[in-house]
Amino acid sequence: MTTTLRLAAFAIDCPDPRALAGFYGRLLGWELDPESDDDWVELVDPAGGAPLAFQRDPGYRPPTWPSRDVPQMMHLDIRVQTLAEGHERAIAAGATPLPQPPDQQGASFRVYADPDGHPFCMCACKE
């Protein structure tokens, strides 16, 4: 018998889980799980999906986007209605715009960095 697997969480390494969870909470409008501690913090998906988790890593080194010296190991794509809305939400939450890939000018996404340097994309893409 094969069981169905479900994603339990998507965890992001960082030096201060509460601070980074605060950023993504502002960006996404998600709430902190009250059972979180200082080394593992989760944001609850109000739609019922897997939580976004933040794990303390004292040796964390941020990616050097767009350089590959310290490559990104993951990134989040966040769907928005328009790139203008995505930009406003990202900046208001505390994100930093990053250089866009040169071969993607006019693309339906924009690249940003969270406060710990993880790249993420705001995507005005179809559902």
pLDDT of residue 106: 66
Tally Cβ neighbours within 10 Å of residue 112.
25
Instruction: Label residue 4 exposed, middle or buried (CB < 10 Å: 0-12, 13-18, 19+).
Output: exposed
pLDDT digits 0-9 by tens, 108-121:
999 999 999 999 99
Q: Beta strand 76-79 with 96-97: parallel, antiparallel or unpaired?
A: unpaired
Looking at the whole model, is its pTM more than 0.85? yes
* Residue 95 neighbours by CB distance under 10 Å: 23
State the pLDDT at residue 127. Answer: 62
For the chain (length 127 residues), average pLDDT per consecutive 10?
88 97 97 95 96 96 87 90 94 95 78 96 83
**DSSP per-residue letters across 38-75:** SSEEEEE-TTS-PPEEEEE-TT-----TTSSSS--S--
